[in-house]
Amino acid sequence: MSKTLIFTATYNESENIKKLVETIFRINEEIDLFVIDDNSPDKTFEILEKISKKNDNLIVVKREKKLGLNTAHILAYEYAIVNNYEKLITMDADLSHEPKEISKIIDLLNNNSFVIGSRYMLGVKMT
């Protein structure tokens, strides 16, 4: 098991979820990715489920209805604690957070207990 868990919540992210997952695993194959989908009507979960069959580092949870980002974060924190991850990185699934920054964040977490990254520091950049 990886020592680093990346978490994202999804709702109608079918257009970009595959790119996000592939980009994260291209950066670091040792990372585990935990995705909670709130029963996206655009079938985001089905895409994730297909990808997860080929990648043991992708953990996908489908909730029965839209329960919101806050409860998804709580679930991710609990998952990280129960599974003894050393690092947890949370990000948006819409690619507004740059996956290429993950390596920098992991390095910073090696010497800091908490790191905040903001997509608004220099304006919003959509990929």
Work out the angle at residue 27's Cα, subtended by the Cα atoms of residues 83 and 120, and round it to the nearest 5 degrees: 90
Does 4-109 carry CATH code 3.20.20.20?
no
CA pair distance 83, 92, nearest whole angstrom = 22
CA pair distance 108, 21, nearest whole angstrom = 22
Contact 39/66 with Cβ under 8 angstroms?
A: yes
Domain residue limits, the chain: 4-109
User: For residue range 12-71, what is the model confidence (pLDDT) as tens digits?
Assistant: 999 999 999 999 999 888 899 999 999 999 999 999 999 999 999 999 999 999 999 999
* Residue 121, strand partner residues: 123
pTM for the full model?
0.89
